[in-house]
């Protein structure tokens, strides 16, 4: 088609943009979405680093936010903190923010509120593409807003062990030992290349001395040098877990204070601000030489505490 000398706006764009006070952006009272504390912490970190890179959506007819409730809430918090540091008399709610403005009735506003956040109307992450981004370095999964447990679940079907997932989470070089996995993931649709790699791997194993590199998946020791075995084992585990979806696979640890929690996280190599830690990762940490002794020393209770407990049992 020939280019138009006078481009026109898309007939499907239903919004305009305007600068609106934060205080005039009223959260919708019916908004059905919420955010857990850990996800909100990550969102706040992202807004600090990258700023508000996507417009909020506001219905000027009702004054309600239609899209961006969580970002608006965090933005108000950040502007309040900024005003407090400035020690002036600026009202953070007077801050202007550029928004997408629509003008619709209540029914259409509610429909858009749900549709804009409906995961069934959105794309999904392809593990292959994410792996390529994180494995190249420069961008970590943590900086992109993923939790470590979420990352492990996303890559579970690709045979990535805990150590490799941790390197992707932190944006570290995964190292040569796992370079073959990148090729397998990126060429997953190419059956011929996949078969050639598998044959080469099996031939190399036949010529090499036996190794004792194993990874525990659902209590079973799996050869870490055989990604296929790990993948099959995890698929079996996932299928069994799905049939038992009423079971609780979480464990809550309660500490006697922030310092005790910080010390525990330091010893087992876990971020204190993260609420999730894979049981497999914790088991690996506990199996490392010296870890159990460090925990024992850090959590040793004074004799008088044991005496007090004994008195309380009488």
Domains, the chain, ranges and CATH? 16-121 (3.90.1530), 127-242 (no CATH), 258-301 (no CATH)
The residue-averaged pLDDT of 305-312 equals 51
How many other CB atoms are found less than 10 A from the CB of residue 134?
Answer: 26
Q: What's the pLDDT score for residue 244?
A: 43
Q: What's the pLDDT score for residue 66?
A: 96
The residue-averaged pLDDT of 211-236 equals 56
> Is the pLDDT score of 128 beyond 90?
no
CB under 8 A, 24+ apart: contacts of 50-58 = 52/97, 55/17, 55/98, 55/99, 55/100, 56/25, 56/97, 56/99, 56/100, 57/15, 57/99, 57/100, 57/102, 57/112, 57/116, 58/20, 58/25, 58/99, 58/100, 58/101, 58/102
List Cβ neighbours of 46 (8 Å cut-off, separation of 6 or more). Answer: 145
Comparison of pLDDT for 257 and 234, the residue scoring more: 257
Q: What's the pLDDT score for residue 247?
A: 45
Dihedral sign, Cα of residue 259, residue 261, residue 267, residue 270: negative
Q: How does pLDDT run across 5-50, given as a tens digit for each residue? A: 788 989 999 999 999 999 999 999 999 999 989 889 999 999 999 9
Q: What's the token pair of residue 304?
A: 């008088």
| Cα separation, 108 vs 135, whole angstroms | 43
Could you tell me which of 285, 291, 255, 251 has the C-alpha nearest to residue 270?
Answer: 285
What confidence tier does 245 reach under pLDDT thresholds 50, 70, 90? very low
Q: Which of 33-37, 63-67, 247-251 has the highest mean pLDDT?
A: 63-67
- Alpha carbon 88 to chain centroid, angstroms: 37
Q: Which of 77-81, 127-131, 164-168 has the highest mean pLDDT?
A: 77-81
pLDDT mean across residues, the chain = 76
Comparison of pLDDT for 100 and 126, the residue scoring more: 100
List Cβ neighbours of 11 (8 Å cut-off, separation of 6 or more). Answer: none
Given strand 16-21, what is the order of strands in its sheet?
A: 16-21, 96-102, 56-59, 64-67
3-state secondary structure of 56: strand
| Cα separation, 88 vs 86, whole angstroms | 5
C-beta of residue 193 within 8 angstroms of C-beta of residue 179: no
Could you tell me which of 195, 135, 203, 121 has the C-alpha nearest to residue 170?
Answer: 135
Q: How does pLDDT run across 85-102, given as a tens digit for each residue? A: 888 788 999 999 999 999
Q: What's the pLDDT score for residue 217?
A: 47
Q: How does pLDDT run across 159-192, given as a tens digit for each residue? A: 555 556 666 776 666 555 455 555 555 555 455 5
3-state secondary structure of 96: strand
Q: What's the token pair of residue 24?
A: 């005039």
How many other CB atoms are found less than 10 A from the CB of residue 252?
Answer: 5
> Is the pLDDT score of 105 beyond 70?
yes
> Is the pLDDT score of 205 beyond 70?
no
Q: What's the pLDDT score for residue 275?
A: 61
């Amino acid at each position: 088609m020939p280019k138009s000398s006078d481009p026109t706006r898309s007939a499907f764009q239903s919004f305009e943009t305007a600068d609106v006070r934060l205080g005039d952006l009223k959260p919708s009272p019916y908004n059905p979405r919420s955010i857990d504390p850990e996800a909100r912490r990550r969102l706040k970190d992202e807004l600090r680093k990258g700023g508000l890179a996507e417009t909020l959506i506001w219905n000027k007819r009702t004054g309600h936010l239609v899209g961006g409730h969580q970002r608006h809430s965090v933005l108000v918090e950040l502007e309040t903190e900024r005003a407090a540091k400035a020690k002036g008399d600026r009202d953070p709610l007077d801050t202007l923010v550029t928004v997408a403005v629509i003008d619709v009735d209540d029914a259409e506003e509610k429909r858009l509120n749900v549709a804009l956040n409906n995961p069934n109307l959105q794309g999904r992450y392809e593990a292959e593409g994410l792996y390529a981004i994180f494995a190249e370095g420069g961008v970590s999964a943590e900086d992109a807003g993923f939790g470590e447990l979420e990352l492990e679940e996303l890559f579970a079907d690709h045979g990535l062990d805990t150590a490799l997932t941790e390197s992707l989470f932190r944006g570290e070089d995964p190292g040569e030992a796992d370079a073959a996995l990148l090729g397998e993931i990126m060429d997953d649709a190419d059956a011929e290349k996949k078969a050639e790699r598998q044959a080469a791997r099996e031939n190399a194993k036949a010529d090499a001395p036996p190794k004792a590199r194993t990874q525990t998946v659902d209590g079973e020791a799996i050869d870490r040098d055989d990604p296929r075995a790990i993948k099959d084992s995890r698929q079996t585990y996932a299928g069994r877990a799905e049939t038992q979806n009423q079971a609780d696979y979480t464990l809550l640890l309660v500490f006697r204070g922030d310092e005790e929690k910080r010390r525990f996280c330091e010893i087992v190599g876990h971020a204190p601000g993260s609420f999730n830690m894979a049981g497999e990762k914790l088991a690996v940490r506990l199996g490392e030489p010296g870890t159990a002794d460090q925990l024992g020393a850090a959590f040793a209770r004074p004799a008088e505490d044991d005496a007090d407990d004994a008195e309380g049992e009488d």
